[in-house]
Amino acid sequence: MNKKEILEKFSADPQRYYNVNLFEDHGFERISCNVCNRFFWTLDSERVKCPDHSDDTYSFIGDPPTSKRFDYTQSWKEVESFFVKNNHTSINRYPVVCRWRDDLYFTIASIVDFQRVMGSKVVFEFPANPLVVPQTCLRFKDLENVGVTGRHFSSFCMIGQHSIPNENGYWKDECVNLDFNLLTQQFGIAKKEITFVEDVWEGGGSFGSSLEYFVRGLELGNAVFTEFQGDLSNYKTLDQRIIDMGAGLERFAWITMGTPTAYDCCFGPITQKLIQNAGIDSDSSVLVPYFTEIAKNLELYDDLAQVRKNAIKKTGLSDEQINRIITPLEGIYLIIDHIRTLIFAISDGALPSNVGGGYNLRIMLRRIVSTMNRLKMKFDLDEIIDIQIDYLKDTYPELENTREDVKEIISIETGRYDSSKQRMQKIVGKLNKEPKVEDLITLYESDGVTPEYLKEMNVISEIPSTFYAKLSDLHQSKKQKEQVNLPLEGIPDTDLLFYGDDPREFNARVLKSFDNFVVLDKTAFYARGGGQEPDHGKIGGQEIIDVTKHGNVVVHEIKGDVPKEGDAVTCVVDAKRRDGITKNHTSTHIINTSARSVLGSWVWQHSAFKEEDHARLDITHHSALTDEDVMKIEDAANSIIEKSIPVKIENFDRGTAEQKYGFRIYQGGVVPVKSVRIVSIGDLDIEACGGTHVANTSDIKQIKITRTKRIQDGVVRIEFVSGYGAKEFVKKKQQDSENKEKEEKLKEQEKLKRIENRQQAKERIPLLVENFSPYVFGQGRSTIAEITMEHTESGKANFCYSTSDNYDDVFHIGLGEAICKADPMCIYCGLFEQGDKIRVIVYAGDEISKEKSAGDIVKSISQILGGAGGGSAKFAQGGGTDKSKKEDAIKNAKSMINE
């Protein structure tokens, strides 16, 4: 079943699918386009072509069909007041970061606000009926069109008009009536100008007819009637029919202003300011025909370069005019558009990065910088942000709160890009042919080189039109969760005691047992979920090692004998373990809010893990944490504990919770059930969470951050301990540092002692030399201060040695040299320990060295010591590791000398 088939079928029965009261009442004619055969409804009897093929297409540029002029902000005020007047509730926009859907990073349409995924089904939850919402939507597929076509944006405001046809809401007749009146009464567009084109919509298993409405070729809105499910040969009406009318606010402003592009009337005063700064002559006699041609050609050609070429040819613009006016204008539009999108995305908690949705934001930021560089424009991004927020806050006052955060993130990210340029330059230098789309994607994916940069460096002249669509596809899909199939069919939901009295001991009945698993009628064992590890304990005396939840059935894994089905069993939850895990869980909430208050509004929980004795929280943040950051977060967390704040748990209907607390509640991700459990710590932290929590923050006693680490681009891990664990950790840390201090003191003392010894020894050298001199000493053997001298008869070698550990290398070298100088027949041998080695230093006096070589002696001694050494006849050194061989070594030296 494709759209074309559905349209054919529906258009064959217009009475059933398209005719509405409005058409009857006003006498609209149904006409088939004489170019494409498409059916449309009009009051203009001369109209024979559909809006895509009409001659008046885009004739509103320079000649708007209204007497009133409304810019972007004013247009919303008009739309809002019209619908409110007509019994609609005006809802604030939802975040552009789509926290309530697992399958979308960003909000792409107003209807997405109200869609919730339950299992494989999409359900609608309306906070009011009927309603209207100015929903900012992000779309990245047509990035290359932005700035060039005059009407493509990376983000736009979709006016969402939504209704469920029940006692409060309405269906087709009323919807089309309202839309017609909005255009004619509120905006003052002549009835004849409005054309409704027959179309269809299908997706997610349902489909229905739709009516697109156009004025002078510009599609202003599309009213979709989601009505059926099944296939074309057999379909039935949905239980929940929905009106999904989406209209582009930017286009409403544009049609009344008639500016050359939609950008001129939607970015407030910033466009004019940048045009002035850049010194561009924005002569409307050039721009009106040029952008009218661009708009017309866009319907005719897929290739943007072709569209541009045709428009230039048709309007006869010179190269000089293109370079001086058009190209810089396109750049300015792009910059403003992209910054506006970044303002919304960063305000709603997204960060530029190389993963997930952050990817598109980084791409846009790099496009901004490259465009400025290529066109040699120097704009102050902070100023652009300021002017834009000043302009947007009339409609979106919440942007004021994140003004500085947006600037901070954009400045960090711009700095990063600038510093990566050298690396990019090298990579680009190695390219030896013009890269194809696939090459461009590889260049960006693996090296971060953007096509804008290549354009800036004149490596490519145009960015291929498929680049952004391909890139976007690559990053669109999300991982599907693994499904485990257990034989649980027909088993009733487990009664979850941990959400009630939460006893540590209870009796239960075994409903099912298989392999090592058992299912009870009720349980107080917390099942692994939301990053909280499962409880342990005993069921029927057997140890429980894991607990998991499958749908609403809790499955316990047993080590040992599994009880039989029908058995009554006594169950005991490991209270100490649960207590540790619970403290750590509440602590993750506390650290999360503390990190956000210390670091910035962009901090969200990325993921979390809570065990008995340790836990971690991964948060979104642009850089690694400094020691100061960590200290501040820890202090903030501990002050929440000190304040003894009660932890409140309440259940809400999901829609109510969202309206009451906003989307910050979704820190742990999407909640796939209708009733959400809200855990609040005063008004400091309010999260949807299914975990176990302490009753009061003071129960935690203390939080200690043990380690932090940047684990991926834009994500920082905070490891911590809490409660008893934190106390132990702090105690151990204190002990460690005390021990370390002691050790260091001891080392310092030893060092001082050695210096002192050395000094003393040095002073002793002349005295020793004097005492051992042959003239003083005569023959025989004597030991002074652990130094032994053996004098033999004259003409033979004298031997002086020491194995004392009181002497070091400096001493031995000093004494050896001095003694051998005073006595040319003396051989000196010093053995001493140094660390885990034993070293030897040997000197031989001038005379004796002619017969006995110091080198030979060292070589021999070192061998005995289990090492090696050598040197000259007069001086040598070496050593080994066998400290027990000291005496053997001296004996060996003596025998060599006396031989």
Q: Is 243 exposed, middle or buried (0-12, 13-18, 19+ CB in 10 A)?
A: buried
Per-residue binder mask for Zn ion (CB under 5 A), 636-675, x = binder: ----------------------------------------
Residue 114 CB, nearest approach to Zn ion (Å): 25
Residue 704 CA to residue 641 CA, distance in Å, equals 12
Residue 620 CB, nearest approach to Zn ion (Å): 16
Residue 207 CB, nearest approach to Zn ion (Å): 23
Nearer to Zn ion, 12 or 36 (CB): 36
Q: Tell me the window of 32-40, 136-144, 198-206, 421-429 that interacts with Zn ion (CB under 5 A).
A: 32-40
Question: How many other C-beta atoms lie within 10 A of the C-beta of residue 204?
Answer: 12
* Coarse DSSP helix, strand, coil percentages of the chain, rounded to the nearest 5 percent: 45, 25, 30
Nearer to Zn ion, 88 or 583 (CB): 583
- Under DSSP, is residue 143 helix (H, G, I), strand (E, B) or coil? helix
Residue 379's nearest CA partner among 387, 886, 469 is 387
Residue 467's nearest CA partner among 639, 305, 575 is 305
Nearer to Zn ion, 217 or 814 (CB): 217
- Could you tell me the strand order of the sheet in which 715-722 lies? 605-610, 615-620, 715-722, 703-712
Residue 234 CB, nearest approach to Zn ion (Å): 31
Residue 45 CB, nearest approach to Zn ion (Å): 18
Nearer to Zn ion, 145 or 582 (CB): 582
Question: Contact, 66 vs 256, CB < 8 A?
Answer: yes
Per-residue binder mask for Zn ion (CB under 5 A), 668-707, x = binder: ---------------------x-x----------------
Question: Contact, 829 vs 848, CB < 8 A?
Answer: no
Question: Contact, 213 vs 221, CB < 8 A?
Answer: yes
Residue 146's nearest CA partner among 295, 310, 333 is 333
Per-residue binder mask for Zn ion (CB under 5 A), 42-71, x = binder: --------x-xx------------------
- Bridge partners of residue 134, in order along the sequence: 159
Question: Contact, 526 vs 536, CB < 8 A?
Answer: no
Q: Tell me the window of 30-38, 174-182, 474-482, 593-601 that interacts with Zn ion (CB under 5 A).
A: 30-38
Nearer to Zn ion, 57 or 402 (CB): 57
Residue 677 CB, nearest approach to Zn ion (Å): 10
Residue 689 CB, nearest approach to Zn ion (Å): 3
Of 33, 220, 345, 511, the one binding Zn ion by CB under 5 A? 33
In single-letter form, the type of residue at position 58 comes to Y
Residue with tokens 């239960």: 508
Nearer to Zn ion, 143 or 686 (CB): 686
Q: Which pair of tokens denotes residue 693?
A: 């929590």
Nearer to Zn ion, 36 or 673 (CB): 36
Residue 651 CA to residue 669 CA, distance in Å, equals 17
Nearer to Zn ion, 452 or 685 (CB): 685
Strands 131-138 and 89-90: parallel
Residue 652 CB, nearest approach to Zn ion (Å): 16
Question: Contact, 514 vs 448, CB < 8 A?
Answer: no
Nearer to Zn ion, 44 or 390 (CB): 44
Residue 45's nearest CA partner among 244, 148, 191 is 191
Residue with tokens 């995305």: 345
Q: Return the DSSP state at 439.
A: H
Phi, psi of 499 (to 5 degrees): -95, 0
695, 700, 706, 707 alpha-carbon torsion, rounded to 10°: 20
Nearer to Zn ion, 79 or 686 (CB): 686
Residue 693 CB, nearest approach to Zn ion (Å): 8
Residue 723 CB, nearest approach to Zn ion (Å): 16
Residue 105's nearest CA partner among 143, 134, 139 is 139
Nearer to Zn ion, 356 or 669 (CB): 669
Residue 315 CB, nearest approach to Zn ion (Å): 24
Query: Does position 300 bind Zn ion by CB under 5 A?
Result: no
Nearer to Zn ion, 645 or 689 (CB): 689
Residue 432 CA to residue 437 CA, distance in Å, equals 15
Nearer to Zn ion, 53 or 509 (CB): 53
Residue 78 CA to residue 287 CA, distance in Å, equals 28
Size of the site for Zn ion (CB under 5 A): 9
Q: How many residues does the chain have?
A: 899
Nearer to Zn ion, 95 or 691 (CB): 691
Nearer to Zn ion, 38 or 622 (CB): 38
Of 1, 12, 35, 412, the one binding Zn ion by CB under 5 A? 35
Q: What is the DSSP string of 333-368?
A: HHHHHHHHHHHHHHHTT----SSTTHHHHHHHHHHH
Residue 868 CA from chain centroid, whole number = 58
Residue 356 CB, nearest approach to Zn ion (Å): 21
Question: Contact, 109 vs 247, CB < 8 A?
Answer: no
Question: Contact, 533 vs 610, CB < 8 A?
Answer: yes
Residue 372 CA to residue 410 CA, distance in Å, equals 15
Q: How far apart are the first and last CA of the chain?
A: 110
In the chain, DSSP finds a helix count (H) and a strand count (E) of 27, 33
Residue 48 CB, nearest approach to Zn ion (Å): 10
Of 2, 3, 12, 36, the one binding Zn ion by CB under 5 A? 36
Residue 300 CB, nearest approach to Zn ion (Å): 12
Question: How many other C-beta atoms lie within 10 A of the C-beta of residue 446?
Answer: 9
Nearer to Zn ion, 11 or 110 (CB): 11
Phi, psi of 570 (to 5 degrees): -95, 135
Helix ranges (DSSP H) in 773-835: 774-777, 809-822
Q: Tell me the window of 25-33, 256-264, 503-511, 818-826 that interacts with Zn ion (CB under 5 A).
A: 25-33
Nearer to Zn ion, 44 or 80 (CB): 44
Residue 38 CB, nearest approach to Zn ion (Å): 5
Residue 255 CB, nearest approach to Zn ion (Å): 20
Phi, psi of 702 (to 5 degrees): -160, 150
Residue 268 CB, nearest approach to Zn ion (Å): 36
Residue 219 CA to residue 62 CA, distance in Å, equals 18
Phi, psi of 781 (to 5 degrees): -130, 135
Nearer to Zn ion, 40 or 843 (CB): 40
Residue 663 CB, nearest approach to Zn ion (Å): 16
Interacting residues toward Zn ion by CB under 5 A = 33, 35-36, 38, 50, 52-53, 689, 691
